[in-house]
Amino acid sequence: MRRRNIALASAALLGIATLTSATNAIASSPNPTRIISLSPSATEILFGIGAGPQVIAVDDNSDYPSNAPFSKLSSFTPNVEAIAAYHPDLVVLQSSATNAVTVESDLQKLKINVFLEVTPSNISDAYAEFLALGKVTGHPSRAKALVTTMKSQIAEIIAKAKKKSPISFFHELDNTLYSADSSTFIGQIYSDFNLANIADAANAGGYPQLSNEAIIKANPKLIFLDDAPYGESASTVASRPGWSAISAVKSKHVLVLPLDIPDRWGPRIVDFYRFIAAAIAKVN
Amino acid sequence: MMSTEHGAISRIWNWRITAFCALILLAVAIMAVSFGPISINFFKVFKTLFDLPGGSTGQDRTVILELRLPRVILGALVGAALATSGAVYQTVFHNPLADPYLLGAASGAGLGATIALTSTHHDLHAALPIFAFAGGVLAVFTSFVISGKFFADPNSLLLSGIAVGSFATAIQTYLQQQHSAALRPVYSWILGDLTSATWSVVAWSSIYIAIALVILFTVAKQLDGLMLSDEEAYSLGITPKRLRIIAVAAATLATATAVSASGLIGFVGIVVPHLVRGLTHRVTNRSLISIAMAGAAFLVLADLGARTLLSPAELPIGVITAFVGAPFFLVVLRNRRKVMQ
Amino acid sequence: MTISVTDLTVRYGEKVVLDDISLDIVHGKWTCLVGPNGAGKTTFLRALLGMAPYSGSIKDRGHEVFKNHKRNVAFVPQSPQIPQGMTVAEYVMLGRSKRDGWGNDSLLSREYVHKVLTQTHLFGMQTNLVSQLSGGEMQRALIARALAQEPELILLDEPTSALDLHHQISVLNNIELLKENGVTIISTMHDLTLAAMFAEEIVVIKNGRILLSGESNFVIHSSELRKAYDDRIDVYTLESGRPVVVAKKKGLI
């Protein structure tokens, strides 16, 4: 459930996306030296572009890199006073946090700069965030370099792995069969590999809940499990009634996704591309 | 209650109780402004509040005046609104378990909020209170219309409120399923929170809540007549139907405003009236002012807990009011059983 | 001085509950309305209270009674709405709202309630909850509240039903106390013997119409009374001259 919530919270809030692109005005002068990150993805990005030494605290959901200054600050329900107690000069805040708009304006009242992070809807948006964070923390060139490297690595991975004809797959968010279709961030990554997402048929524009029958009928060749922390695995999936007939189950192509990688859009997203490439390679 | 030497029964309501509640509210409010993740010396807080020399400056001052103070005031307003509405509903519907969300107000407001959060239009945050308010008021109005005869019978109004509420909840659930990205914002709104308190929110909500409360305080004494049957009330000089409409309308205004400012905070509307009535052993509606102030103090205290218990995370305030409310109900139930025997 | 009822008709939807009633009720006397169930007695009381819309006229001291709040009328219902959690003293105090305004704790009112509680033998129970009173005690509380109101007219709907004999008599005696203050008493009653015992005037109503009205002894012995109850009653007179009305024992119908 929590994983799904994290996934859902990572979805683009369409309205705020447009609204907040205008609110990223940051005071430009000296680079911030007391940065607080309230976003696990932003934490990874900050450390990836060399801003790590400027970070004084990260939220309770951040867990990478291991030398990040972890704190009890909440990314979902930020407490303005608790944040202010650290005397930061820049706070990276997710726009999907509870009352993000009020939190942002309260922090600004306290003369604290806020970088409002909008959940990217595709990899280009993610790159844009890398560059924006690079600019705001004083590492524009390192950010640019990181993006260039990632782009070329990903392009190479896709080129090698992509098959000519689309391979059908099912991305499972939880055992009530919620999935993510191609309009989501993660869905776009799958699309890059010319994979066919069976959740697209639901026409839900986000995270539809599929039925056992629909999945069995669609007969995907690959199944990606995002709910391993909740006890799901290849064997539990295979034991579901009717599922043993599914191609992915028969050929043992039910794969458990690595923790956190698909939910975040930091530098480690390249690992996710590699994972998918490896999965495709196994399918004939 | 023993009689005095003059051969008279003792007073039904003592205004010292009201004064006492006012004192408690003041103390709680000052305490709430003084505590938070950033520790500020209590005397500095006091001096800052009353603009005396030696108060805090800079960030501390902003924290006190721009963050904590509006939040405490909003908490007091919402607590007063919900407690008073609950007390009025309990009287009007002859039901000690009535709460301000009866008549579908909660479901209607929730539906309004969900529509705001799942619509594809921009500027959700500004519009949400309006949608919630409209939803709550419309739901109650629909309950009136469906029950027919415009309030001839409190029970039929209750039933239509249940029907309207269920319908609104069903639509809300459907919308949420269609737009699962909005699930978390809707859920946290339903739990209620005062974190959106800014001076502008305090401004508009205080106007509506003040209007509603003034109306209710004015008719408070007459509301006692509604505890009797219509004929009895009528004989004592009340127009029961008209009074019920005024009371319910004002209570709904207060509730809808509270909900649109802070989401659905539960238990305040049921618990606080019982608390005051139980402690004073009086059910007269002259207690309404005291109930309002007790509700204000209750919610401000609960919000203080929400901000500090799990600091730096924020507990949803609905969790705290439920934590207090649930055992409270057990106590009330036990007392009722004792009284029955 | 009377309450003049002229051509009074009360309808609930299509149904005519009171049909063209004309009657003069004498102030300061006890008038009892009798008749079988559904005759319209309670509706008549509500009309006299001023709550029921009617066609025709009911004039009390020259003014129409409909929605006329200037009168001080006490209403004692058959089944009152019993407030939860309210003490007897608070309940009786509600009656003072007419004379003293709502929610006033004036010394005068508190003394008056003290007196009334003593009169109705409720003084020792003043802190008891109204919801815990027995049937008889509840009736006494209702009378006490009516007494506290110091009304000019009191309307009682079946004041003695569901009471045992001892309480019936004591409640009716309490009501009689009101007559000392010149209060007009109008009650409905099932028990014709008690009606004859206490009321000075009796009005026989059946199917929304008045069959007979007049001095109680006269009406009790009349044939119209027997007709109203489908000849199923017998009227006997005791040695003391008091009439006793008894239901006839008939075979299975």
List the CATH number of the domain containing C230. Answer: 3.40.50.300
Bond into A120 cis (ω within 30):
no
User: What is C192-214 written as a DSSP string?
Assistant: HHHHHHH-SEEEEEETTEEEEEE
Given a contact cutoff of 8 angstroms between Cβ atoms, the answer to whether A251 and A222 are in contact is no
Q: Is residue C77 part of a domain?
A: no
H-helix or E-strand containing B268? helix B268-280
Q: B259: burial class by Cβ within 10 Å (0-12, 13-18, 19+)?
A: buried
- Domains in chain B: boundaries: 29-340
CB C85 to CB B284 under 8 A?
A: no
pLDDT band at B54 (very low <50, low <70, confident <90, very high): confident
Structure tokens at C15: 């149904």
d(CA A210, CA B239): 57
pLDDT, residue A188, reads 92
Distance CA B234, CA C52 (A): 11
Using CA atoms, how far residue B67 sits from A82, B36, B218, in Å, is 12, 10, 33
Give yes or no: residues C141 and C209 share one domain.
no
Domain contains C54: yes
Domain boundary among C96, C122, C148: C148
On chain A, the residues whose CB falls within 8 A of the CB of B197 are 102
C109 → chain B, closest CA residue: B8
For B67, which of A78, A80, A207 is closest by C-beta distance? A80
Reading the block at residue B104, the tokens are 């579908």
Dump pLDDT digits (tens) for A187-199: 999 999 999 999 9
- Cα of A212 vs its chain's centroid, Å: 26
Phi, psi (deg, nearest 5) at residue A259: -55, 135
Number of helical H runs and strand E runs in chain C: 9, 12
Gap between the Cα atoms of C18 and C15, Å rounded: 9
Distance CA C163, CA C135 (A): 6
> Chains C, A in contact: 3+ Cβ pairs under 8 A?
no
For CA atoms B102, B105, B108, B112, the dihedral sign is negative
Of the pLDDT bands very low, low, confident and very high (cuts 50, 70, 90), residue A24 is: very low
β-strands C209-215, C2-12 pairing: unpaired
Position B312 scores a pLDDT of 73
The angle at the Cα of A83, spanning A81 to A88, to the nearest 5 degrees, equals 125
Residue C51 domain flag? yes
pLDDT (tens digit per residue) in C173-226: 888 878 888 899 999 998 899 999 999 999 999 999 999 999 999 999 998 898
- Nearest C-alpha of chain B: how many angstroms from C202? 23
Predicted local confidence at residue B103, as pLDDT: 86
Report d(CA B128, CA B244) in Å as an integer: 30
Secondary structure string (H, E, C) spanning chain A: CHHHHHHHHCCCCHHHHHHHCCCCCCCCCCCCCCEEECCHHHHHHHHHCCCHHHEEEECCCCCCCCCCCECCCCCCCCCHHHHHCCCCCEEEEECCCCCHHHHHHHHHHCCCEEEEECCCCCHHHHHHHHHHHHHHHCCHHHHHHHHHHHHHHHHHHHHHHCCCCCEEEEEECCCCCEECCCCCHHHHHHHHCCEEEHHHHHCCCCCCECCHHHHHHHCCCEEEECCHHHCCCHHHHHCCCCHHHCHHHHCCCEEECCCCCCCCCCCCHHHHHHHHHHHHHHCC
- Identity of the amino acid at B316: P
Check: CB of residue A132 under 8 Å from CB of residue A248: no
d(CA A159, CA A273): 11
- Structure token pair of residue B6: 């003059």
Same-domain check for residues C169 and C243:
yes
Neighbours of chain B (3+ CB pairs under 8 A): A, C
Please give the CATH number for the structural domain made up of B29-340: 1.10.3470.10
Query: Do the domain assignments include residue C134?
Result: yes
Residue C64: helix, strand or coil by DSSP? strand
- Is B46 within 8 Å of B64 (Cβ atoms)? no
How would residue A204 be classed by pLDDT, with cut points 50, 70 and 90?
confident
CA B310-B311-B314 angle, to 5 degrees, is 75
The residue ranges of DSSP E strands in B55-150, in sequence order, are none
Q: What is the pLDDT of residue A77?
A: 86
Residues in chain B whose Cβ is within 8 Å of chain C = 1, 3, 6-13, 94, 96, 220-222, 224-225, 227-232, 234-237, 239, 277, 281-284, 286, 339
pLDDT of the residue at A129: 95
Position C252 in a domain: no
Please check whether residues C93 and C110 belong to one and the same domain. yes
Judged by CB atoms closer than 8 Å, whether chains meet at B124 and A82 is answered as no
Q: Give residue A25's Cα distance to chain centre.
A: 24
How many CB atoms sit inside 10 A of residue C37's CB?
7
Nearest CA in chain B to A98: B185
CB contact under 8 A, C105 and B12: yes
Task: Note the pLDDT of residue C157.
Answer: 94
Asked whether B289 and B88 are in contact (CB, 8 A), the reply is no
Q: Residue B73 phi/psi, 5° resolution?
A: -65, -40
In this complex, do A8 and B184 lie within 8 Å of one another by their Cβ atoms? yes
- pLDDT tens digits, residue range C110-129? 999 999 999 888 999 999 99
Shared-domain flag, residues C22 and C116? no
Q: Strand order of the sheet with strand C73-76?
A: C73-76, C153-157, C184-188, C30-34, C201-206, C209-215
* B67·A81 Cβ contact <8 A: yes
From CA C145, how far away is CA C128, in angstroms rounded? 15
Q: Kindly determine whether residue B179 and residue A206, on different chains, have CB atoms separated by under 8 Å.
A: yes
- Among C148, C180, C198, the domain boundary falls at C148
Closest partner residue to B232 (CB to CB) among C77, C105, C110 is C77
- Chains B and A in direct contact, meaning 3 or more beta-carbon pairs closer than 8 angstroms: yes
Evaluate whether A188 touches A121 at the Cβ level (below 8 Å): yes
Which of B108, B139, B144, B107 shows the shortest CA–CA distance to B244? B144
* Res A25 pLDDT > 70: no
Task: Classify strands C209-215 and C201-206 as parallel, antiparallel or unpaired.
Answer: antiparallel
Q: Is the pLDDT of residue C50 over 70?
A: yes
Domains of chain A and CATH, by start: 2-122 (3.40.50.1980), 162-282 (3.40.50.1980)
The values of phi and psi at residue C194, to 5°, are -65, -40
Residues of C with CB below 8 A from B227's CB? Answer: 81, 83, 86
Exposure letters A2-12 (e unless 16+ CB within 10 A, then b): ebbebbbbbbb
Same domain membership, residue C110 and residue C35:
no
| Structure-token match 């109005």, residue found | B141
Give the DSSP per-residue string, B220-263: HHHHGGGGS-HHHHHHTT--HHHHHHHHHHHHHHHHHHHHHHH-
Q: What is the pLDDT of residue A20?
A: 39
C13 touches chain B (CB under 8 A): no
Mean per-residue pLDDT of chain A: 87
- Domain of C238? 2-71+152-247
pLDDT at A99: 83
Q: Measured between beta carbons, which residues in chain B are less than 8 angstroms from residue C85?
A: 96, 277, 283
Does residue A97 have a pLDDT over 80? yes
What span, in angstroms and rounded, lies between the C-alpha atoms of B188 and B176? 13
Are the C-beta atoms of residues B252 and C104 closer than 8 Å to each other?
no
| Bigger pLDDT: B81 vs A2 | B81
C78 lies in a domain?
no
Range with the poorest average pLDDT among A163-172, A201-210, B254-263, C147-156: A201-210
Of the pLDDT bands very low, low, confident and very high (cuts 50, 70, 90), residue A21 is very low
Q: Treating both helix axes as pointing N-terminal to C-terminal, what angle do A140-161 and A269-282 enclose, rounded to 10 degrees?
A: 10
Q: Using a CB–CB cutoff of 8 Å, tell me whether C220 touches chain B.
A: no
Alpha carbons C138 and A6: distance in angstroms, whole number: 62
Scored b (16 or more CB within 10 A) or e, B210-236 reads: eebbebbbebbbbbbbbbbbbbbbbbb
User: Residue A100's closest CA among A15, A207, A185, A5?
Assistant: A15
User: What would you report as the CA-atom Rg of chain C, rounded to the nearest whole angstrom?
Assistant: 19
- Look up residue B195 and give its two tokens: 């974190």
The rounded percent of chain C whose pLDDT value lies above 90 is: 66
- As a whole number of angstroms, the distance between CA B307 and CA C176 comes to 65
- Neighbour-count burial of C250, counting CB atoms closer than 10 A to its CB (0-12 exposed, 13-18 middle, 19+ buried): exposed
Q: Above 80 in pLDDT, residue B209?
A: yes
Q: Which of B9, B229, B281 sits opposite C77 (nearest CB)?
A: B229
The average pLDDT across A61-72 equals 92
Reported as a pLDDT band with limits 50, 70 and 90, residue A28 is very low
- The tokens for B19 are 């004064």
Which of the residue ranges A149-153, B166-170, B194-198, C117-121 would you say has the lowest mean pLDDT? B194-198
The partner residue sitting opposite B222, judged by closest CB among C69, C102, C117, is C102
**Residues A108 and A133 sit within 8 Å (Cβ to Cβ):** no
User: Which of A5, A80, A89 best probes binding to B when mutated, by most B CB atoms within 10 angstroms?
Assistant: A80
Q: How far apart are CA C126 and CA C122, in angstroms?
A: 6
When the pLDDT of each residue in chain B is averaged and rounded to a whole number, the result is 86
Residue B87's H or E segment, with its range, is helix B69-92
pTM: 0.83
Query: How many structural domains does chain C have?
Result: 2
Please report which helix (H) or strand (E) contains residue C32, including its range. Answer: strand C30-34
A64/A10 Cα distance (integer angstroms): 17
What is the number of CB-based contacts under 8 A between chain B and chain C? 104
Contact (CB<8Å) A81/B178:
no
Q: Say if residue C144 is in the same domain as residue C157.
A: no
Six-digit token string for B125: 């945050």
Q: What are the pLDDT digits (tens) for C144-166?
A: 999 999 999 999 999 988 788 88
pLDDT of B63 strictly over 90:
no
Chain A neighbors of B198, CB-CB under 8 A: 102, 105-106
* pLDDT at C253 (0 to 100): 45
Residue B159 is inside which H or E element, if any?
Answer: helix B154-178
State which of C106, C129, C148 marks the end of a domain.
C148
Give the N- to C-terminal CA distance of chain A in Å, as an integer: 33
Contact between A26 and A115 (Cβ < 8 Å) = yes
B225-242 per-position pLDDT tens digit: 999 999 999 999 999 989
Residues C9 and C126 in one domain: no
